[in-house]
Amino acid sequence: MQQMKLKDKASADVEYHIRPIRSADNPAVAGIIRKVMTEFGAVGCGFSISDAEVDAMFEAYPAPASAFFVVERSGVVLGCGGVAPLQGGEAGTCELRKMYFLPELRGSGMGHRLLAIILAAARTAGYSLCYLETLEGMDQARKLYTKHGFAPISHALGNTGHTSCNRFMTLAL
């Protein structure tokens, strides 16, 4: 488990923890996914909010081919993200999945830290390419991905079922 002491937006000392998901985290993670997706208008058919795994994220990311993490502060889960094989993708390709932060966690620097942990897990699992899907309105997320080396591509990869996503990126691992 990684512990980080950072200043939050209120400038008080707080400890953020990044750790692997537990089954008890499923309701909190599902709530985060639904809240953030709704905030960005990503509801309905073709978005990950409709994925069957949303209510059972712990079970959907078995090691060693997958990993899913949560970010918590004072025992409250505020963000999440993970990696798993790209459905319908080429061997060696994984997908960055369901990386979402509640508003109170955004801007804390934890996005960079969580993404670095997720990418390290992908490398450890033996992946050579990481793919992600996002939306035009998620500008801060795309900036984060770009800072970590992701580059835009013109088309979707694999068969994620997320036909409403309109931005695609990859990173050679």
Assigned domain for 134 exists: no
Q: What is the pTM of this model?
A: 0.88
40-62: per-residue pLDDT in tens? 877 767 677 777 889 999 999 99
Q: Please report whether residue 158 resides in a domain.
A: no
Task: Measure the CA–CA gap between 11 and 142, rounded to whole angstroms.
Answer: 26
pLDDT for the residue numbered 163 = 72
Helices (H) and strands (E) in the chain, counts: 4, 8
Q: How far apart are the first and last CA of the chain?
A: 23
pLDDT value at residue 8:
43
Three-state DSSP state, 134: strand
Q: Which residue has the higher pLDDT, 65 or 162?
A: 65
For residue 4, what pLDDT band results from cuts at 50, 70 and 90?
very low
Neighbours of 53 (CB within 10 A): 18
**In which domain, by residue range, is 50 found?**
2-128
Q: Based on the structure, what is the number of domains in the chain?
A: 1
Give me the pLDDT at residue 13, please. 58
**CATH number of the domain that 60 lies in?**
3.40.630.30
For range 14-43, the mean pLDDT: 91
Residue 59 maps to a domain = yes
